[in-house]
Amino acid sequence: MKTFDYTIKDELGIHARPAGLLVKEAKKFESACTITKDGKTKKLTQLMMLMSLGVKQGDTVTIEADGADEDAAITALKEFFESNL
């Protein structure tokens, strides 16, 4: 299991466009990828569940990948967050 924390910089937080792209990115991996905010954990492959977290600018989230390709998944997701959020 690999994790990293990220503080959202996008002024709109995780809104529809980047959320859709994030789900698409997470689905590329066999590993179970999750996001945690304020003790609530949701799968990164479920758009509506991800949106239900209501992640805003300045919120810190924890991203976790657990599975066969967790190293590749966590690297790709970290790059995604840094580039898009």
3-state secondary structure the chain: CEEEEEECCCCCCCCHHHHHHHHHHHCCCCCEEEEEECCEEEECCCHHHHHHCCCCCCCEEEEEEECCCHHHHHHHHHHHHHHHC
What residues are annotated to the active site? 15
